[in-house]
Amino acid sequence: MTRIDTCGMSCPQPVLMTKKALEKDPEGAEIIVDNNTAKENVVRFVRSAGYTASITEKDDVYIIEARK
């Protein structure tokens, strides 16, 4: 599974990076985000693309796991 780090990126790049990662590896991806806005946007995108999204909070970041 691809792992991407979107920390510090401004809108809409976390979602764009997620989109590209899932196009490359449709199986799923692990996306690290560092703010609520990016978390909501990435989760919304992942779900609308037909994946499940599970979120874990770790230190200052969220790790979103997108799976088929």
Count of residues engaged in binding another protein, rule: CB under 8 A: 17
Nearer to another protein (CB atom), residue 28 or residue 45: 45
- How far apart CA 30 and CA 22 sit, in angstroms, is 10
Residue 26 found at the interface with another protein (CB under 8 A) = no
Structure tokens at 37: 């806005």
The DSSP element (H or E) to which 57 belongs, if any, is: strand 52-58
- How far apart CA 58 and CA 48 sit, in angstroms, is 25
Residue 10 found at the interface with another protein (CB under 8 A) = yes
- For residue 11, indicate whether it is catalytic: yes
Residues in contact with another protein by CB under 8 A are: 7-13, 15-16, 19, 35-37, 40, 44-45, 48
Q: Which residues are catalytic?
A: 11
